[in-house]
Each structure stands twice: as structure tokens, then as C-alpha cells.
Amino acid sequence: SVERTLVLVKPDGVSRGLVGEVVGRLERKGLTLVALELRTLQRSVAETHYGEHAAKPFFGELVDFIVSGPLVALVAEGPRAVEAARGLIGATDPVKATPGSLRGDYALEIGQNLVHGSDSPESAKREIDLFFPGLS
Ligand code: CMP
């Protein structure tokens, strides 16, 4: 069924000039962009977004990194968009991510893994409401 998912091109992706590559792959897969914005996150937004990781030892590092520069937040729509985007993105650890996936092709470090994608339709709803409140 038709779904929406939140994708972030993280600050490493923006600084390395890989926004077009990420957005292009989502588009060529057939997903439709319904929102897209370049922005630098407030710390409070980053902490809410990554709230499920608040107790993890890497939480501070994760938040520091995601607020370190501009990122691109976007909402993509299509059939099973959450799973489709996660397939394009690849595994969290870029060394384990399949070559051909974005992380598999363009990242090496788990903390700077280029892109984020919602991990379930429930997370997608929460994340889309956080980044794009009022999106119809
Ligand atoms: P992301 O999909 O944005 O969701 C949570 C993020 O936490 C994940 O990608 C990684 O970038 C980051 N992360 C997960 N494990 C670690 C770790 N061991 N050290 C640093 N960052 C991590």
C-alpha cells in the first residue's frame, strides 16, 4: 500500500556533494518526493528524532554529528516506501552494507553513514510529523 517515509541526507552527505546521488536514486526507484528542505537541526529536534537511542553510549556523538551542519530532510512516497528506501540505503554499518546500496557505495563509518531512513511505518509517521508538521 502507498506509504510515506522520512529520509535524511546527513551532514556528511551534504558536505561531500552526495545530495543529488541520494535524491536521484530515490527518484529513479520510482518514489515521489512530497517534501524536501535543506536545514540545520536544533539540538532539541535532533534529540527527539533519535529519542529511542537516548540511553546508548553513542547518543551524544550521534546528536553532535547530526547538528554539525546542514542536512537535507525529505519525505518520499510510494508503495511500501519505508522498505523500498531502506533497501536503497543499505545496512546501518556501511562496511556491512551491500555494494550497490547508498551506504555500501559511499560510506565507511557507522557514525557517518550518509543517510537515514525511517525503520517502520510508525517511525515514519512520528519522524514526518517532527520534520514537516502539517504536511498534508
Ligand atoms: P541512523 O539510521 O540515522 O539511526 C541511528 C544512527 O545511530 C545510525 O544511523 C548510526 O549513524 C548511529 N549509530 C548506530 N550505532 C552507532 C555506533 N556504535 N556508534 C556511533 N553511531 C552509531
Going from the Cα of 63 to the center of ligand 1, the distance in angstroms, rounded, reads 10
Atom from ligand 1 closest to the CA of residue 89: 2
Residue nearest to atom 11 of ligand 1 (CA): 111
Residues 6+ apart with CB under 8 A from 11: 65, 66, 68, 69, 70, 71
- Ligand 1 shell residues, CB under 6 Å: 53, 58, 61-62, 92, 110-111, 113, 116
Question: Going residue by residue through the chain (136 aa), what tens digit of pLDDT does each one get?
Answer: 899 999 999 999 999 999 999 999 999 999 999 999 999 999 999 999 999 999 999 999 999 999 999 999 999 999 999 999 999 999 999 999 999 999 999 999 999 999 999 999 999 999 999 999 999 8
Q: Are 52 and 130 in contact (CB under 8 A)?
A: no
Question: What CATH architecture is 2-131?
Answer: 2-Layer Sandwich (3.30)
Q: What residue's CA is closest to ligand 1, atom 4?
A: 116
Q: Give me ligand 1 centre to Cα 32, in Å.
A: 26
CB 67 within 8 A of CB 46: yes
Give the catalytic positions in this structure: 116
CA-based end-to-end distance of the chain: 18
Q: How far apart are CA 79 and CA 69, in angstroms?
A: 32
Determine whether the annotation assigns residue 103 to a binding site. Answer: yes
56 has binding-site annotation: no
Q: Give the rounded distance of the alpha carbon of 98 from its chain centre.
A: 17
What pTM does this model have? Answer: 0.97
Return the best residue to mutate from 113, 127, 130 for the ligand 1 pocket (most ligand atoms within 8 A of CB).
113
